[in-house]
Structure 1
């Protein structure tokens, strides 16, 4: 099986309260705000946050051609994001201190990862663990 051409994947999410989401992402998951663009009405038009060499983009919820909905609006989660961390136990302590809604508590997988899953305040699903996709030896 040949590997695809290298590239980056940058998830983007929308939040009803993107400023609160930015705070949570920084506090609970260790993201760092790279920049935040105001929408001219006190909201957030666009923000970029980094975690290690990866990044995400977020913005305020709005009706537009993308038709993106929050998990609450959609009636369930339509995606999840997996964060690779060097220390799942430290990440677990951080999200618990930030009051994240626990979906799956910290556990060890049969394929060698230590991980857990939480929801942010608006219902987006975040799985955090030590497994790096594409590294399974099988």
Structure 2
């Protein structure tokens, strides 16, 4: 089983409010905000952007998350290095990490319960 495309882009920021307003100015709408300086924004039916504020001493990162419809059915080929297998997350999904040939890490996300 292959991935179904891009699920989300996870961004870390030093200022949740400024980052959210930046994406809203680009046409994204706030889907929800948390009480700990993070939230999800959408622009149409495509991938969503999830932004989380990190401390000033932490370099903001970015991750692209690919959709996997069923974690149990996912069988990576020999060219895919699995760094971490699928595990349950605190936000109700299952995630795994794979490494591409150039060393970049990619997150895979599947629905919980699969």
TM-score normalised over the length of structure 2: 0.45
TM-score normalised over the length of structure 1: 0.38
**Which has the bigger relative contact order, CA under 8 A and spacing at least 6?**
2
Whichever structure has more helix as a proportion of its residues is: 1
Whichever structure has more strand as a proportion of its residues is: 2
